[in-house]
Structure 1
């Protein structure tokens, strides 16, 4: 399964808010064997949202959109997603019914826009906040508040499936540039993908379809690099 992620918010682009949602989603999707192909961060702009969602929808098996849900002036994500599919944004009956049955809320508590979803969307209830999410075709729209997004994703996580991948890690106390030939030989010898991440040491992540392959490749490499003391 190939997925594209769209994170929305002027505050992300200005650096006022750290984009932890993208990292969290990539980690959870990777655990499920799902391949994240692209991540894009865009502003709170209806036309930009519609264009990006339309492009991702045509390219990937599923699209995850986070941020910009609610009744305030810059919460335009649902409008943008509706525009991507040429659908009206309506006072969704499932959203209204869900809101009215919640403890502590009544119809008089509804704020303009709170229950507006694209026509024909599947409601995703928000048990950690107020603004609901939605699924339109294969586009999943989640809140931007991390705790709300986490809870909503977890309830639909089973809809994101892929082949199980296994990973092993090797630490090398050498410059990354000095490892190029050995990493190339590693890829030639084993059916694996390799990522190298420099820091105080170089962390090398080896990923394979079988646990035994990942471990065999990691053992081969450990014998050929300088390990941290």
Structure 2
């Protein structure tokens, strides 16, 4: 299964808010063996949301959209998703009924709180108020991290893929000096190899079978210079 993640918010593009939602979702998908093919941030504009969602829903198995959910003037994500699908927004009776069960009378709710694309399934907000929606492989979640995480966990089982096994090797060498060994480990074992330089180089080995990944990591650890702190711990 492959998915695209779309985060909505002017504050993300302005650097005023760190996009923790995208990172969290990608980590959850990776655990489930689901491939994230795109992570895109768009402003609070209906046209931009509609264009990106419409493009991605044709290319990927699912599109997960976070942010801009609610009844305030800049919460336009539901409008954008509805426009992408060519559907109107409608007051969702099941969402309203659930909110009433949670103690919110209809008169207490801001107008538009439960407006979802026509035909959508409401996703209940266990730690907030405004519901999310699922429709035609598009999942619309709130932007508040605690609300987004709780809502995603309610639909997480709908995302599946091949389990991915992962090992990490740290090398205290320049990345350029490791190229031959990275090529060798890739050729010897059924694994993908990524290298990420910093103070040391993190080498990430991944594969669908646990044993080749473990053997590849063991082979590589014997052939790279470990940081001094790790060498001390191993001795």
* Smaller-chain TM-score bracket: over 0.9
Deviations 1:80-102 (Å, cap 9, x if unpaired)?
A: 00000000001111122112221
Alignment correspondent of 1:202 = 201
- How far does residue 11 in structure 1 lie from its aligned partner after superposition? 0.3
1:96 corresponds to 2:93: no
Is structure 2 residue 82 aligned with structure 1 residue 82? Answer: yes
Q: SS state of the match for residue 73, structure 2?
A: coil
Give deviations 1:105-161, integer Å, cap 9, x for gaps. Answer: 211111011010000000000010011000011000000000000000111110010
Q: Report the RMSD for the aligned CA atoms in angstroms.
A: 0.8
Q: Secondary structure at the match of 2:11?
A: helix
Instruction: Kindly indicate whether residue 215 of structure 2 is the aligned counterpart of residue 216 of structure 1.
Output: yes
| Partner deviation per Cα, 1:3-30 (whole Å, 9 max, x = no partner) | 1000000000000100000000000000
Q: Secondary structure at the match of 2:160?
A: coil
Between the aligned partners of 2:106 and 2:42, the Cα distance in structure 1 is: 33
Give how far 1:35 is off: 0.5
Distance (whole Å) between structure 2 residues aligned to residue 111 and residue 169 of structure 1 = 49
The SS at the match of 1:17 is coil
Alignment of 1:135 with 2:131, yes or no, is no
What TM-score do you get using the length of structure 2 for normalisation?
0.95
CA apart distance, 1:189? 1.3
Q: Secondary structure at the match of 2:107?
A: helix
Gaps of 5+ in 1: none
Equivalents in 1 of 2:196, 2:154: separation in Å?
32
Q: Deviations over 1:48-70 (max 9, x none)?
A: 00000001100001110000001
Give 1:214 shift: 0.4
Q: Deviation of residue 188 (structure 1)?
A: 1.3
2:89 aligned with 1:107: no
2:176 aligned counterpart, secondary structure: helix
User: SS in structure 2 opposite 1:194?
Assistant: strand
For residues 106 and 89 of structure 2, what CA distance do their matches in structure 1 show? 19
SS at match of 1:107: coil
1:180-191 paired onto structure 2 within 5 Å: 180-191=179-190
Would you identify which runs of 4 or more consecutive aligned residues in structure 1 move more than 4 Å? none
Partner of 1:12: 12
Q: Distance in 2 between matches of 1:171 and 1:149?
A: 33
Deviations, residues 173-199 of structure 1 (Å, cap 9, x unaligned): 001121112111111111111111112
Q: Which runs of 5+ in 2 are unaligned?
A: 229-235
